[in-house]
Amino acid sequence: MTIDSIKNGIVLDHIRAGQSMELYRILGLGDLDCSVAIIKNVQSKKMGRKDIIKIDAQIDLDLDVLGYVDPGITVNLIKNGNRVEKRHVELPKFVRGVIRCKNPRCITSTEQDIEHVFRLTDRNDRIYRCIYCESKAKQQ
Partner 1 sequence: MRHLIDIMDLSVEEIDSLIETANDIIADPQLYREKCRYKKLATLFFEPSTRTRLSFEAAMLDLGGSVLGFSEAQSSSASKGESVSDTIRTVSCYADIIAMRHPKEGAPLAASYKSRVPVINAGDGGHNHPTQTLTDLLTIKRELGRLNGFTIGFCGDLKFGRTVHSLISALSRYENIKIVLISPDELKIPGYVRHEILEKNNIEYTECFDMTDVMPILDILYMTRVQRERFFNEDDYLRLRDSYILTPDKLKNASSQLKILHPLPRVNEISTAVDDDPRACYFNQVENGKFIRMALILKLLSEV
Closer to partner 1 by Cβ: residue 85 or 122: 122
Q: Shortest Cβ distance from residue 71 to partner 1 (Å)?
A: 20
Output b/e per residue, 26-50; b: 16+ Cβ within 10 A. bbebeeeeeebebbeebeeeeeeeb
For residue 96, CA distances in Å to 14, 112, 138, 139 come to 23, 15, 15, 15
Q: Shortest Cβ distance from residue 88 to partner 1 (Å)?
A: 27
Closer to partner 1 by Cβ: residue 74 or 103: 103
For residue 135, CA distances in Å to 12, 18, 26, 112 come to 30, 26, 21, 18
Q: Shortest Cβ distance from residue 104 to partner 1 (Å)?
A: 9
Closer to partner 1 by Cβ: residue 87 or 119: 119
Closer to partner 1 by Cβ: residue 89 or 118: 118
Positions that interact with partner 1 (CB under 8 A): 103, 105-114, 121-122, 130-134, 136
